Amino acid sequence: MKKVFSYIMLPVLIVLAFYSCSKDLGNYDYTDANVITITTDMANVDPAVVINNDSLVVKQNDSLKVNILISQTKPSNDLAYEWMIIQNSATIGNPAQYIVGITAQLRTKIILSPNLYKLVVKVTDKTTGVSFYKFYSLNVDTSPWGGEGWVVLQDQAAQGCDISVITTRDGVARGNIYSNVYSLANGNKLPTGTYKMNVLNYNNTLRIQKVSFFYPNGGTQVRSTDYLDSSCSNGWFVNLPSVVNFESTSVGPVNGSYETMINNGQLQYQIVNTNTIKTPPVVFGAPLIGTWPSLSPYFMFNSNSSYCTFFDEVNRCFLHINMANNTLIPTNLPDVANQHWPAYSGAGGATNLTATGKGFDLNNIGRNLIYSENAQLMDGAISAPGYYCIFRNSANDSTFLYQFTSGSTGIANNAISGRYFLKDAATNVTGINTASIFAVPAFTASSVSNAFYYVPGNSTNSIYVCNPSYTGTMPATTTSHLGYSFPAGTIIKTMKVFKSGYTTPPSTESRVLVVATDETANGAGHKVYFFSLTATGEINTTPANVYTGFDKIVDIAFKKGLGF
């Protein structure tokens, strides 16, 4: 047995002992990895596309060529490249066109929707596995008429309706006119009777813009970059309303999340944000039914949340709704017509509500709302912007301006000023009782503009500037004056103050009045005028620009550049 151990087991154990021990030849010297620096080869690119080392602009369906230069601290030829396009905002998913190249120099075709993206190039040293990145701002552009400009909706009689685009923001720089761009995209016209055009800008991180048209018994949404039809109103609702009578639509300012619509006097809304778009369909909910038989088609949003004030045009009182949970504010009061707010509590009591008073009771306006627009900039800094509301009595012989201050919760029913009687007289507010076209500027975020414009129904070629005032003997203290007069026979069709929707308003924000006219009686056709406004709201009588060559103008709207 000893021999068995000596000859068999012992050699095996000895061999195993040697086998398990070997010299460690590992390298424990630490050396720096190859550091790669990526820059753009500006000498070999199209300067119209590669704007600088970090910015690219390319039109949809165009090719994109980007050459990069690589510098390395430890030059290696074993590099891997990957080019990716990602969303500009981290909260949104990556676009469909994601990895676009794996070579050093990018050669690809951009088929993404026009928008702002990021192009990323990743260079990996395969010997170390370490990657280095460079990010570009990639602006996928569209046709000139798909970008920023004023959209002009026109009635082309038997043919139907179509739109033109004036590629100017504020009339300061002269733009081009692109005509019939709806039919250019779709091969057909908008239905005859199309009466309203809407451009809505959702939350700017979402980078979605909605353009839609309303016509009798329906509506159409188009892509904002080329006006190609994208949906019809049958698919806009969780339950299609039994009566389709689209009156107005809007979206909450600044945060651009709550999209509202008044259909046949009832409020419906949908929430469009980074969460809801992940669980489509995003559609208008059921109407908020309450003691209000019919709401006026005006939205008085607070600056950046879900709160919005409406006017019950039957009971003629204000309502304040939190759309986040469909509740009336204040929440402690039941839904009773003319009792949605606490009883009027203005200092001085009911005297404020008499004919010579200046206050008003939110529960009992007792007049019809003719028009409403914000008179204070809504940049998000001021949560409760003021609105100018034009009221008129049922006999159409008395018109009033009410300054309503919006808000979220806690809007007090105690206004002791803000109601102005607009007496229709040559020395007061001439023609106001027949006016149906209004526009309100908003010069600052800190106070209301103290001016509005109107076109008397009996003088349709004139724009009057009205400055509400308590100077004089109550109640008829406010006066107006002629701001601009077009040639006799001109019919002003519509006018709007330039309110851009940009988070950071441009310097011309609310300093431009855009007016559409029908001058066919003078053989001058249909025109769009851009007037600059002074800081006090006066109209510069020399138009900044005039655009001609339109068909009968129905509506105008500013469409800001996508992604801004």
Partner 1 sequence: MKKEIIYIIIFATVLPFAACKEDVPTIFAEPDGIYFSAPADSITYTFAKYPTRLSDTLRIPVTVLGKPTDKDRTISLEKLSGLDINGTEGVHYKLLQPYTIPAGKVSTMLPVVIYKTGDMDSLSFNFKFQLKANENFISGISAKTSLKIKVGYLQKPPTWGDLTGLQWAGYSTNMGTWTKTKYKVVLDALYDPVSDTTVSEFPFSRFGPPVVYTQYLQLVKNYIRTKYPGNYSIPRGIGATLRDPDNKDSVIQVGPSNY
Radius of gyration, alpha carbons of the chain: 32
CB of 94 to partner 1, least distance (A): 23
CB 86 within 8 A of CB 95: yes
Q: Per the omega criterion (within 30 degrees of 0), is the bond before 11 cis?
A: no
How many Å apart are CA 495 and CA 481, to the nearest integer? Answer: 17
Out of 241, 287, 441, 468, which residue is the one contacting partner 1 (CB under 8 A)?
Answer: 287
Please report whether residue 327 would count as binding partner 1 according to CB under 8 A: yes
Q: Do 337 and 330 meet the contact criterion of CB atoms below 8 Å apart?
A: no
Q: Lay out the site mask for partner 1 across 487-516 (x = CB under 8 A, - = otherwise).
A: ------------------------------
Q: Binding partner 1 by CB under 8 A: which of 44, 217, 335, 354?
A: 335
In whole angstroms, the minimum distance from the beta carbon of 3 to partner 1 comes to 5
6 binds partner 1 (CB under 8 A): no
Smallest gap from Cβ 447 to partner 1, in A, equals 36
Residues 528 and 168 sit within 8 Å (Cβ to Cβ): no
Asked if 409 is part of the footprint of partner 1 (rule: CB under 8 A), the reply reads no
Q: Is 333 in the site for partner 1 (CB under 8 A)?
A: no
Half-sphere exposure of 59 (CA within 13 A, CB side): 10
Minimum distance, C-beta of residue 276 to partner 1, in the bound complex (Å): 5
On whether the CB atoms of residues 328 and 321 are closer than 8 A, the answer is: yes
Q: Does residue 219 belong to the site contacting partner 1 (CB under 8 A)?
A: no
447-474: b (≥16 Cβ within 10 Å) or e: ebbbbbbbbbeebbbbbbbbbbeeeeee
What is the pattern of x (binds partner 1, CB under 8 A) and - over residues 258-277?
A: ------------xx---xx-
Torsion of CA 453, 458, 459, 461, to 10 degrees: 90
Contact call for residue 473 and partner 1 (CB under 8 A): no
In the bound state with partner 1, the residue whose beta carbon lies nearer, of 182 and 292, is: 292
d(CA 159, CA 153): 14
Instruction: Return the residue matching tokens 């008429």.
Output: 145
CB of 254 to partner 1, least distance (A): 20
27 near partner 1, judged by CB under 8 A: no
Taking CB under 8 A as the rule, does residue 54 contact partner 1?
A: no
Sequence-separated (6 or more) residues with CB below 8 Å from residue 64: 49, 56, 58, 100, 106, 107, 108, 109, 110
343 makes contact with partner 1 (CB under 8 A): no
Range in contact with partner 1 (rule: CB under 8 A) among 282-290, 377-385, 398-406, 459-467: 282-290
Do residues 367 and 316 lie in contact, with contact meaning Cβ atoms separated by under 8 Å? Answer: yes
Question: Does the bond joining 475 to the residue before it have cis omega, within 30 degrees of 0?
Answer: yes
Collapsing DSSP states into helix, strand and coil, what is residue 308? Answer: strand
Is residue 485 involved in binding partner 1 (CB under 8 A)? no
Closest approach, Cβ 371 to partner 1, in A, equals 29
* Cβ atoms within 10 Å of 26's Cβ, excluding its own: 5
Beta carbon nearer to partner 1, 4 or 90: 4
Q: Hey, which residues does 120 pair with through a beta bridge?
A: 84, 135
Task: From 17-25, 88-96, 279-287, 480-488, give the range in contact with partner 1 by CB under 8 A.
Answer: 279-287
Size of the site for partner 1 (CB under 8 A): 25
Interface residue with partner 1, options 36, 68, 288, 553 (CB under 8 A) = 288
The answer to whether 528 and 547 have CB atoms below 8 angstroms apart is: yes
* CB-nearer residue toward partner 1: 15 or 238: 238
Among 27, 325, 504, 542, contact with partner 1 (rule: CB under 8 A): 325
Nearest approach in angstroms of CB 334 to partner 1 is 6
Identity of the residue, 193 or 281, whose beta carbon is nearer to partner 1 in the bound complex: 281
Nearer to partner 1, 4 or 21 (CB): 4
Residue choice 15, 42, 157, 286 for contact with partner 1 (CB under 8 A):
286
CA distances from 397 to 353, 424, 440 (A): 19, 8, 22
> Binder to partner 1 among 239, 394, 409, 469 (CB under 8 A)?
239
Question: What DSSP letter does each residue of 126-172 carry, written as one string?
Answer: TTTTEEEEEEEEEEEE--GGGSSEEEEEEE-GGG-EEEEEE--SSSS
Binds partner 1 (CB under 8 A): choice among 336, 381, 425, 482 = 336
Give the interface segment with partner 1, choosing from 122-130, 155-163, 331-339, 367-375 (CB under 8 A). Answer: 331-339
The footprint of partner 1 (CB under 8 A) covers 3-4, 7-8, 238-239, 270-271, 275-276, 279, 282-283, 285-290, 325-327, 334-336
